[in-house]
Amino acid sequence: MRLPGIAPSRAVLLLFGTVWLTGCAISTQRFGRPIDADRIASIQVGASTKADVLREFGPPSAYSALPVVPSPQNPSATGGEDLLARAEAESRMFVYEYREDRENFLTIILFTRFRREVVSDRLMVFFDEADVVRYVAFARQTQETAPREPAPQ
C-alpha cells in the first residue's frame, strides 16, 4: 500500500486506526413469551373462564382494569355504588404481551447511524363479574420467527 506523501508505516497505522474506530452491532432483546395466535380461538366469549385462560396461556404479563368514571348524575338515582362496583368488576382483564426491541448501529470515525424498533404482540382478555370471558382483543406487530412451542395435549 502506497499513499502519496505518507510513509508506508504511517499508512498502515492510519488503516488500523480507521478500522479500530469503525464498529457495528445488531441485537434483538425479547421480553415475555411469544403468543400463539392459533390458540386464541380456544377462548370462547361467554363460555370460557379465567381458569380456562390461565390453563391455555399461563399467568398474564399484567392484570389490569380500565378506569371507571362515575356518572355526573345523582348516584342515588341510578343505583349508585352498586352500579360503579359492577362496572369496575366488568372492566378487569388479563394482558399477555410479547415484545421485541431491535437495535442496530454503525459507527465510522465520527459518523454514527442508530436505528431502534420496538414491536409487540398483545392479547387482552376481559372478564365479567363472574370471571367469564366477555371480550378478547389481539394485535400482532412481530414476525413469527421464533419456533412455536407445541400446544399442550
CA-CA distance, 35 to 37, in Å (whole number)?
6
pLDDT digits (tens, 9 = 90+) for 34-93: 999 999 999 999 999 999 999 999 999 998 877 666 666 655 545 556 666 666 666 789
What gap in Å lies between CA 121 and CA 39, rounded to an integer?
A: 14
Report percent pLDDT > 70 for the chain.
69
The dihedral of CA 20, 22, 26, 27: what is its sign?
positive
Q: Is the pLDDT of residue 151 over 50?
A: no
Could you tell me if 39 and 151 are in contact, meaning their C-beta atoms sit under 8 angstroms apart? yes
Mean pLDDT confidence for 106-119: 83
Instruction: Taking the CA atoms of 52, 56, 58 and 60 in sequence, report the sign of the dihedral they define.
Output: negative
At residue 79, the pLDDT reads 54
